[in-house]
Amino acid sequence: MTFMNHIGYILSEIGRAGRNSDGSYTRGCYSPAYFDGLDIVERQMEELGMEVSRDAAGNILGVLPGKDKKLGSIIMGSHLDTVPSGGLFDGAYGVAGGLEVIRRMKEEGKTLNHSLELYGFNGEESNPLGGTFGSRAVAGLVEPGQPGLSEALKTYGHTVLDILNCKRNLSDAKCYLELHIEQGDHLFNDEMEIGVVSGIVGIVRYKVMAVGHSNHAGTTMMQKRRDALTAMAKLIVQADAKCREIDNALVLTVGTIRCWPGSENVIPGRVECIFEMRHMDKDMTDRLIDEIRNIAAKIDTVEFEITKQIDEESVKCDEHLIKVIGRAAAELEMKHIIMPSGAGHDANPMAHCLPVGMIFVPSKDGLSHCKEEWTEEKELENGVDVLYKTIELLDEEV
């Protein structure tokens, strides 16, 4: 794929890391492919004359000093890891967009009043350390007592203390801005050029274990079975129907399943799934898990164990930043709407430390987390233009 503009060029450069033969991309948390991506970004930052550093959480940071050191930095960023067999744009576009903003400033000989910073975060996608890992480390939100954290970190050559030391005092920074593809189909279907993000949904995940009884597949009659897999299947189907009943904006995904002992001629005795639910309003996800527990209690062939794994609260973007991004889009005469994000982002942890704003560009057919993920060059350019204009407007606020 050859892009003709700078942002496309930088993206395809980052895309040289972790590219699979089927055209998808895999840069897992702390993986060699991930660090290949970091090396590519580091070279781009150095060519732009930025001060570059890395931390134990696997993040990279480039800094372009501004005229007035007393002013807090304007921080841009997104993630450089991907889901397995993911797309070119998720995360990488926000880092490439930040590099392109800085390239343009250099080209125009412009030095801002505020310092400009750009993060490439590690581990935003689901991973053994928990998603948004790199940005949570910077925000100081990694719980030292998180179950399994120390063991997982050991495999990456780090200790919990290494990660706690990644915490940064962000109180003096002006704001955090993240440029990202929508990953949904609203902008694409409504032929909108820019999404001004109002907030990021909360993400709640539960580990659900169905405990039945393994037995012989040939000699155990149907009425005597305690089949964990059919019980889990009933729970999933009924939970899906209940989710659709509760609210149109409520989503439930069961994306993983493990089955023991996992043999064709043995009735499954244990099955484990992760139930993930998302909504801007916590009451909705609370209601859904209560309904799921009620459904589970009525399936009497097995016992269900339901334990919360992750509870990332929804966050609101900063009202002032929403206005400034909207003004930038309007001045650039771009069709834009204010909308929530159904995807999680590094802006969520960052929102616990400083004002955050997000800018969306369309995803073709709303596809993401797959090799078909696509955003047109002009649309990529639009996002960078709005990010650039937003930074110019914010930089005048001294």
Using CB under 5 A as the criterion, which residues of the chain lie in contact with Mn ion when the complex forms? 90-91
Does residue 379 touch ligand HGY according to CB under 6 A?
A: no
- Can you spell out the DSSP letters for 57-105? TS-EEEEE--S-TTSPPEEEEEE----TTB-SSTTHHHHHHHHHHHHHH
Binding segment for ligand HGY among 123-131, 135-143, 297-305, 349-357 (CB under 6 A)? 123-131
Residue 383 contact partner, candidates Mn ion, ligand HGY, none, CB within 5 to 8 A by sort of partner:
none
Indicate the residue whose CB is closest to ligand HGY. 343
- Which of 8, 86 has the CB closer to Mn ion? 86
- Residue 124 lies near ligand HGY (rule: CB under 6 A): yes
| Using rule CB under 6 A, residue 86 touches ligand HGY | no
Amino acid 187 reads L
Tell the smallest beta-carbon distance from residue 370 to Mn ion (Å): 11
Give the nearer residue to ligand HGY in terms of CB position, either 170 or 343.
Answer: 343
CB of 163 closer than 8 Å to CB of 183: no
User: Footprint of ligand HGY on residues 322-361 (CB under 6 A)?
Assistant: 343-344
Residues in region 126-165 near ligand HGY by CB under 6 A: 131
In the complex, least distance from residue 365 CB atom to Mn ion, rounded to whole angstroms: 16
Q: Give me the residues paired with residue 303 across strands.
A: 211
DSSP label at 375? -
Cα 175 to Cα 351: distance, rounded to the nearest angstrom: 9
Q: Which of residues 198-237 bind ligand HGY (CB under 6 A)?
A: none
Q: Which does 344 bind (CB under 5 to 8 A by kind): Mn ion, ligand HGY, none?
A: ligand HGY
Alpha helices (H) along 68-216: 92-107, 133-139, 149-155, 160-164, 186-189
Number of DSSP helices (H) and strands (E) in the chain, helices first: 12, 15
State both tokens at 110.
Answer: 């412009």
3-state secondary structure of 124: coil
Residues making contact with ligand HGY (CB under 6 A): 124-125, 131, 343-344
